[in-house]
């Protein structure tokens, strides 16, 4: 398993990736709110109110889980809730390492809209693959996969320092294409051949494809495709 630590890819257009770090902070705050509604440090049924559930998008008489908001908004709200600290931490680590460069390439406003779009599109992909089921979806991994999709397309040669699991505690510099490409290949493999799993492989693949596609029209004109340092 690749654990990214940092990348050698400085930002060029912005001074501070405040949207990216704001998204990280919001995810942490929402998780703390989850803890306040539960008796332990794990997932609580409170988050189900905001989860994406495929069957509820098909049933006219589905429960009104968001009485003051459109029910379709769960395609975004699900991405800010997590099952436990490990779920939250792993998603936020990837966002911390890769998100600042994507915000730099798109700009602050476009990056915020892009992130929400990737969350919605990855959620829709999950719904299509789990059509009619009551399997719930929470977590930022689909939206984060969109960020990683952009990084692969724009910065495949950037060096990313990673740990190869926890057994080899020496950071290794790898091209982003190797590291993220291997991650993407694992997602596609398990989506195609994996057995039932709590991991939403379809959301990951959907977010990855959405991010790679959206970055082309959204990136700054002077940011080249397949560049990197």
Alpha-carbon span 173 to 171, nearest angstrom: 7
Q: Is residue 62 a contact partner of residue 110, using CB atoms and an 8 Å limit?
A: no
Cα dist from 153 to 139, 162, 227, whole Å: 24, 19, 8
Query: What's the mean pLDDT when you consider all of the chain?
Result: 88
> Residue written as tokens 């990084």?
151
CATH topology of domain 2-218: Rhomboid-like fold (1.20.1540)
Q: Worst-scoring range by mean pLDDT, 11-15, 49-53, 113-117, 120-124? A: 49-53
Length of the chain: 229
Per-residue pLDDT reduced to its tens digit, 172-221: 899 999 999 999 999 999 888 876 667 889 999 999 999 999 999 999 99
Q: CA 46 to CA 31: how far, in whole Å?
A: 11
Domain definitions of the chain by residue range: 2-218
Residue 52 DSSP label: B
What is the token pair recorded at 176? 């982003």
Residue 37 pLDDT: 78
**Residues 130-169, buried b or exposed e (16+ Cβ, 10 A)?**
beeeebbbbbbbbbbbbbbbbbbbbbbebbbbbbeeeeee
And the tokens for 156? 């495949």
Q: Are β-strands 2-8 and 172-175 bridged in parallel, bridged antiparallel, or unpaired?
A: unpaired
């Amino acid at each position: 398993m690749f654990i990214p630590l940092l990348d050698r890819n400085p930002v060029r257009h912005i001074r501070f990736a405040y949207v990216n770090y704001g998204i990280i902070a919001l995810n942490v705050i929402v998780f703390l709110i989850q803890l306040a509604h539960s008796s332990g440090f794990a997932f609580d049924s409170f988050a189900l109110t905001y989860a994406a559930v495929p069957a509820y998008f098909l049933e006219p008489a589905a429960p009104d889980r968001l009485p003051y908001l459109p029910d379709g908004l769960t395609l975004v709200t699900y991405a800010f809730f997590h099952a436990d600290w490990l779920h939250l931490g792993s998603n936020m680590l990837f966002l911390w390492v890769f998100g600042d460069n994507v915000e730099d390439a798109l700009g602050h406003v476009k990056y915020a809209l892009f992130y929400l779009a990737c969350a919605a599109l990855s959620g829709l992909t999950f719904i299509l693959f789990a059509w009619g089921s009551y399997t719930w979806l929470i977590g930022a991994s689909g939206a984060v996969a969109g960020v990683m999709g952009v990084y692969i397309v724009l910065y495949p040669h950037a060096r990313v320092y990673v740990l190869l699991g926890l057994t080899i505690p020496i950071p290794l510099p790898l091209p982003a294409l190797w590291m993220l490409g291997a991650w993407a290949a694992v997602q596609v493999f398990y989506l195609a051949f994996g057995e039932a799993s709590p991991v939403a492989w379809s959301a990951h693949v959907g977010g990855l494809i959405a991010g790679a596609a959206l970055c082309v029209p959204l990136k700054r004109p002077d940011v080249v495709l397949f560049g990197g340092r």
